[in-house]
Structure 1
Amino acid sequence: MEAEESFGEHNTLKFVVDGMLGKLTRWLRMMGHDVKYSSSMDDAQLLSLAANEHRVLLTRDFELYQHALTKGFDAFYVMGQTEQERLAEVSKRFGIKLDIDMNVSRCPKCNTPVKRIPKKEAARRVEESTFRFYKEFWECPKCRQVYWQGAHWTRIRKTFEAAENSLKNMEKKDA
């Protein structure tokens, strides 16, 4: 299936995600997308949020997916078994670039856009070695979490590489 729309580097989407896709939620937020998620939302709440806020529903619940489509909602059934496969599926469907741009990134915890902060503001909020080694820091203005592109960034890149490989495999199957 071809992506129906293509979204450039700084264009973001609004999603509502069911309780089975918490990790995907965090990835999409880091990629800059506005994602509403709560593991306690029932199907009616998910559909209401999708309708009221014009959000795309992402779900692993096939019955919910079918119900959403019959009601005219924009919904996508996520079938991937791994986070990499799920990222690849969503990337393919919506033309989303598999990358993190800190200029548009959102807090993976609370969904608020993160803001770059002067290094000195991070001094008392991160480990001393982290402060010395890294030059750039970002903060969530809502939950106050501080972020930096540390050693975990290698794991993030590897996840995106694996998702890109999954995406290529999907495209080969479709050819």
Structure 2
Amino acid sequence: MLLRLGRWLRLMGQDVASPKGCSDEEILQKAIDEKRTLLTRDKRLATACLGTGVKCILIRSSRIDEQIEEMAKRGIPLRLDPKRCTICNGPLQEVELSHENIASIEPSEKKLWRCSECQKLYWMGSHWRKIKMKLDDMASRMDLAD
């Protein structure tokens, strides 16, 4: 499973479903039903996509940096774009700073997002700044900088 790649793609604003505990047939059927592109490292699953109408991308690398670079070469922008929850893929909604959520964030942060499905709270703290720096570095190495 490419769960870690899925989280990174969500950080980049992509709508990524990560079916857990599903058979290859169930994963393929979900891709058909939801009209999704299927990402896999499994050659048999990639072969099973042939003739189904499902676009399939066979990810070659097992290393996360190389997987992200593979996606960038296919047109996914290497930039932080807070639209999706990294946990459940739910859409993020910008929310106001309030007494309920202020205790868990850095004092300097002004923008907050909440997942509309699992209610997880996000902000542009040091973790996101490090992720942004990593994506910017990858983009410049690949000569894909905005």
> Common fold, TM-score beyond 0.5?
yes
Out of 107, 116, 125, the residue aligned to residue 101 of structure 2 is 125
Shift of 1:157: 1.9
2:11 is the counterpart of 1:30: yes
Instruction: Give the partner amino acid of 1:96.
Output: I
1:138 and 1:147 in contact (8 A); partners too: yes
Matches of 2:29 and 2:123, distance apart in 1: 35
Out of 53, 60, 70, the residue aligned to residue 34 of structure 2 is 53
Structure 1: give runs of 5+ residues left out of the alignment. 1-19, 169-175
Out of 87, 112, 117, the residue aligned to residue 90 of structure 2 is 112
Aligned residue number for residue 76 of structure 2: 96
TM-score, scaled to structure 1? 0.73
TM-score, scaled to structure 2? 0.86
Structure 2: give runs of 5+ residues left out of the alignment. none
1:88 and 1:166 in contact (8 A); partners too: no
Total equivalences in the alignment: 143
Aligned residue number for residue 151 of structure 1: 126
Aligned residue number for residue 114 of structure 2: 139
- Identity of aligned pairs, percent? 33
Q: What is the CA RMSD across the aligned residues, in angstroms?
A: 1.9
